[in-house]
């Protein structure tokens, strides 16, 4: 996640809090209460600060996660390090290493296999200790008795952010912890709100309207996969857990991200952004798409979200080829339309930090950061050659996941084979239908495969 983007969010927050402080201080200096206009402004600014706080928290979480993954990947010394010890008041304080970590020297996959077939008592003891550690870490009573083994955290941290097409949108969506029980998440939606009106005369009753709501039920979906590995490879191979389990985790995260973008809402899939019919649809029709022709459509998507649900979108999600299309756009004097900030752009359509990055690209258009995600389909439209651009309020893209998902791994022995099927699975739920008009998608012939 771009530090520049985080810094801009914090700068906006500081500006708004400064306006609140100056308004309150001015009233205090004049020994008076806030006027109705000032009070309304303060309340509006407070609401904006709250939304910025939520966004900063989301972006900071992604930043920390990516930094943590990079630090783990950079470690090449897998030997056991001595326990860290400090002394205070004559007592020794020892930092205990988890049973399975990058420095523990224990191999989770090998121990899991040996304990599964009860061929090694020490391996069984380590697995049981690991399950107890995770029960404490996850604060879930049912963890140790669940049918699957909990995947060690260092494997999830190391591989979850790195993946085939990865999970850029899933990482940016609004996060919730999946409830421990049930196969659905139920959200309340207000369908009828309160009513207010001007009084036609004094001493008359205020108008009233009972609030009512409907429920939005979001199914909990399961993603699973398996890999068949010979027992010899697991018992005598090197780094097998990193190769096999790491690839399963990468596949899991890519499938999750793909589904919350493109899922059908049936056959065990969530309803993805592309399949939503109640969101905002903007069409860009052109024989040959141009950056200048597409730009007004982005502005249209933004104003439609603001006009329908009175909130501001905070991200644009597009395929890498579409960002490349924007970066390649030039004006009538062959000057680029989207350029790095370092070039001190004048009248630029979009700006960025330099070389565009995958995921949080570091570029923005109309002030909205661009998230680049290769899971966006590129076979849309009558000619199956179009991609989609999403303009969204990420606060209304709700992703419920188990802590440290994908969570569990089990082992199955195929009949007649000297092999083991390693099965990985995790559960999640997603919806953007609480306020579907917070999602706008841009489609059309102008988004066919770009030429460079």
Return the CATH number at 444.
Answer: 3.30.2400.10
On average, the pLDDT of the chain sits at: 81
Q: Are residues 110 and 232 in the same domain?
A: no
Longest CA–CA span in the chain (Å) reads 89
pLDDT at 135: 64
Band (pLDDT 50/70/90 cuts) for residue 211 is confident
Q: Is residue 200 part of a domain?
A: no
Give the separation between CA 297 and CA 444, rounded to whole angstroms: 11
pLDDT digits (tens, 9 = 90+) for 297-329: 999 999 999 999 999 999 999 999 999 999 999
Domain boundary among 45, 74, 103: 74
Q: Is residue 82 part of a domain?
A: no
pLDDT at 312: 94
Q: Is residue 198 part of a domain?
A: no
Q: What percent of the chain has pLDDT over 90?
A: 39
Domain extent, residue 221, equals 151-188+211-452
Q: Are residues 119 and 175 in the same domain?
A: no
Q: Is residue 17 part of a domain?
A: yes
pLDDT at 153: 63
pLDDT at 66: 65
pLDDT at 23: 81
pLDDT exceeds cutoff 90 at 37: no
Q: Is residue 199 part of a domain?
A: no
Domain boundary among 42, 74, 106: 74
Q: Are residues 42 and 120 in the same domain?
A: no
Q: Are residues 260 and 356 in the same domain?
A: yes
Give the separation between CA 302 and CA 296, rounded to whole angstroms: 10
Q: Are residues 182 and 270 in the same domain?
A: yes
Contact, 154 vs 130, CB < 8 A?
no
Band (pLDDT 50/70/90 cuts) for residue 134 is low
Q: Are residues 123 and 173 in the same domain?
A: no
Q: How many domains does the chain have?
A: 3
pLDDT at 238: 59
pLDDT exceeds cutoff 80 at 450: yes
Q: Is residue 181 part of a domain?
A: yes
List the single range of 59-68, 182-191, 355-364 with lowest mean pLDDT: 59-68
Q: Is residue 204 part of a domain?
A: no
pLDDT at 155: 59
Domain boundary among 16, 41, 74: 74
Q: Are residues 270 and 368 in the same domain?
A: yes
In sequence order, what are the residues at sequence separation of 6 or more whose Cβ sits closer than 8 angstroms to the Cβ of residue 157? 65, 68, 69, 72
What angle (nearest 5°) sits at the alpha carbon of residue 142, between those of residues 239 and 151?
Answer: 10
Q: Are residues 330 and 296 in the same domain?
A: yes
Q: Is residue 257 part of a domain?
A: yes
Q: What percent of the chain has pLDDT over 70?
A: 80
Average pLDDT over residues 252-262: 95
Q: Are residues 128 and 160 in the same domain?
A: no
pLDDT digits (tens, 9 = 90+) for 364-416: 999 999 999 999 999 999 999 999 999 999 999 999 998 777 767 777 777 76
Q: Are residues 361 and 224 in the same domain?
A: yes
pLDDT digits (tens, 9 = 90+) for 276-304: 999 999 999 999 999 999 999 999 999 99
List the single range of 94-108, 202-216, 337-351, 400-414 with lowest mean pLDDT: 94-108
pLDDT at 89: 47
pLDDT exceeds cutoff 50 at 76: no
Average pLDDT over residues 45-64: 79
Give the separation between CA 154 and CA 283, rounded to whole angstroms: 44
Instruction: Evaluate the omega torsion of the peptide bond into residue 406 and state whether it is cis, within 30 degrees of 0.
Output: yes
Give the separation between CA 152 and CA 127, rounded to whole angstroms: 10
Give the separation between CA 134 and CA 138, rounded to whole angstroms: 6
DSSP 271: B
Q: Are residues 114 and 37 in the same domain?
A: no
Give the separation between CA 75 and CA 102, rounded to whole angstroms: 8
Band (pLDDT 50/70/90 cuts) for residue 137 is low
Q: Are residues 313 and 247 in the same domain?
A: yes
């Amino acid at each position: 996640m771009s530090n520049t983007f985080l810094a801009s969010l914090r700068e906006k927050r500081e500006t708004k809090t400064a306006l609140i402080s100056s308004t309150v201080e001015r009233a205090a200096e004049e020994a008076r209460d806030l006027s109705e206009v000032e009070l309304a402004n303060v309340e509006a600014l407070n609401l904006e600060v709250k939304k910025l706080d939520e966004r900063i928290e989301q972006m900071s979480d992604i930043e920390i996660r990516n930094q943590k993954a990079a630090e783990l990947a950079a470690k090449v010394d897998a030997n056991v390090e001595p326990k860290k010890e400090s002394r205070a008041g004559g007592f020794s304080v020892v930092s205990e290493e988890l049973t399975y970590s990058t420095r523990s020297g224990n191999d989770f996959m090998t121990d899991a296999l040996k304990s599964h077939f009860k061929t090694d008592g020490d391996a069984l003891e380590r697995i049981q200790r690991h399950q107890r550690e995770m029960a404490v870490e996850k604060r879930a009573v049912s963890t140790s008795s669940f049918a699957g083994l909990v995947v060690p955290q260092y494997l999830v941290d190391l591989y979850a952010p790195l993946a085939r097409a990865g999970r850029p949108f899933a990482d940016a969506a609004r996060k919730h912890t999946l409830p421990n029980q049930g196969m659905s998440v139920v959200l309340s939606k207000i369908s009828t709100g309160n009513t207010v009106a001007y009084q036609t005369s004094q001493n008359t009753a205020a108008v009233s309207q009972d609030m009512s709501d409907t429920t939005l039920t979001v199914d909990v979906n399961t993603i699973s996969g398996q890999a068949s590995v010979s027992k010899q490879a697991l018992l005598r191979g090197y780094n097998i857990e990193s190769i096999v389990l790491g690839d399963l985790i990468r596949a899991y995260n890519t499938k999750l991200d793909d589904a919350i973008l493109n899922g059908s809402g049936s056959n065990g899939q969530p309803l993805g952004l592309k399949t939503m019919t109640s969101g905002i649809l903007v069409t860009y029709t052109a024989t040959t798409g141009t950056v200048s022709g597409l730009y007004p459509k982005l502005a249209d998507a933004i104003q439609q979200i603001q006009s329908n649900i009175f909130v501001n979108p905070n991200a644009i999600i597009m395929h890498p080829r579409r960002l490349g299309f924007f970066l390649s756009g030039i004006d009538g004097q062959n000057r680029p339309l989207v350029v790095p900030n370092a070039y001190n752009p004048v009248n630029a359509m979009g700006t960025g930090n330099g070389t565009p990055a995958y995921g949080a690209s570091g570029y923005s258009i109309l002030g909205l950061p661009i998230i680049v995600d290769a899971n966006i389909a590129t076979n849309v439209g009558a000619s199956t050659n179009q991609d989609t651009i999403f303009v969204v309020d990420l606060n209304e893209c709700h992703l419920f996941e188990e802590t440290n998902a994908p969570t569990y791994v089990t082992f199955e022995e195929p009949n007649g084979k000297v092999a083991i099927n390693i099965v990985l699975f995790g559960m999640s739920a997603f919806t953007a239908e609480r306020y579907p008009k917070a999602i706008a998608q841009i489609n059309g012939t102008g988004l066919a495969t770009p030429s460079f």
